[in-house]
Structures are given as C-alpha cells and as structure tokens.
Amino acid sequence: MTQPTPLPASASAPASGPVPDPVPVPVPEGTRTPHFDHERLDVYRAAIEFVATADELVTQLPRGRSYLSDQLQRAAISVPLNIAEGAGEFSRRDKSRLYRIALRSATECAAILDVCRLLNLADQRGLDTNRALLLRIVSMLTRMVRPGTGTGRGTGTKTRPS
C-alpha cells in the first residue's frame, strides 16, 4: 500500500483565519451543469425551503420551548434528506419507503405547527405560511408513494434540467 504524498507547505491550510471557498468545478461550454436526481424534484426544493422557514420559526419560540424547537428542526431536516435518499435509490420499493418516511416527517412538522398555534407561541401568519408549504410538500409526496408511482414518474414532481 502506498502512502499519500504530503502537500507542500504552501498548499496546507493556514493555522487560523477564514477557510477559503472551494474552487468551482469548471463545466465546458455547451454542456449542462450536472445535477443530482433529487435536485430536479420540486418536492425537494420545497422541502429545503421549509427547512429555512422552520428555522426562522424556531427563532420566534420563547425560551423554555427547546423541546419544540429541537423536534421541529429534526423533523424538518428529515424531509429533504429522505427525499434525496429516495431519489438516489434504484429499487422502487426502497424509493417509495423513503418518500413515505419524508411524508411522515412532514406531517409531524404540521402537528408541531398546530401545537405552536394552540399555545400561541409564534406569529400566526408565519405558521400559516409554513402550513401552506407543508400541505404542498405532503401533496407531492402522497402522489409519489402511491402504488406504481414510487419513482415520482408521472406525478408532475420532476422538472427538466436547465
């Protein structure tokens, strides 16, 4: 087994200071930018948007409600992660299973929003916005997990690459 060649001193990271941004990979002109399968799904983009809006909502929750904050953040991040994992799966059965997990996490988020509404813990308009986004996500995921549609084909959830 060969040992890796050490980097020259000038190529090593500085001991302190900001980490430089990664160098983008050049894409030859006339070719498409490569995408992961999940990046082409509207439901994935909506789920990523929900993670951001849920994070904003968490900042509104009063002190002493960390149990709700933690649960919402965990459930929210579970949605796009399971969508991405499902999109990368080849087996229709496994793909559908992962989309169902994402669906369950999205409905869990909806229940957490209901608790926040009941206890008057956050701005009602923000809760309504988050709820509407979750309804859209749940609707798309429901179509994706129906028997025979576990791949997302024919559900209107994929977009063409740009």
Give the chain's mean pLDDT: 82
Which CATH number fits the domain 37-145, given the four candidates 3.30.360.10, 1.10.3720.10, 1.10.260.40, 1.20.1440.60?
1.20.1440.60
For the record, the structure tokens of 59 come out as 């900042």
Q: What is the pTM of this model?
A: 0.72
Residue 19 has pLDDT above 80, yes or no: no
pLDDT tens for 58-87 read: 999 999 999 999 999 999 999 999 999 999
Backbone angles phi, psi at 26, to 5 degrees: -70, 140
Q: What is the mean pLDDT of residues 130-155?
A: 80
DSSP letter assigned to residue 65 = -
Residue 24 has pLDDT above 80, yes or no: no
pLDDT tens for 27-43 read: 556 656 678 999 999 99
Given a contact cutoff of 8 angstroms between Cβ atoms, the answer to whether 106 and 142 are in contact is: no
Given a contact cutoff of 8 angstroms between Cβ atoms, the answer to whether 80 and 153 are in contact is: no
Q: In b/e form, how buried is each residue of 17-37, taking b as 16+ CB within 10 angstroms?
A: eeeeeeeeeeeeeeeeeeeee
For the record, the structure tokens of 15 come out as 């001991």
Given a contact cutoff of 8 angstroms between Cβ atoms, the answer to whether 44 and 84 are in contact is: yes
Classify burial at 83, counting beta carbons within 10 Å of its beta carbon; exposed 0-12, middle 13-18, buried 19 or more. Answer: buried
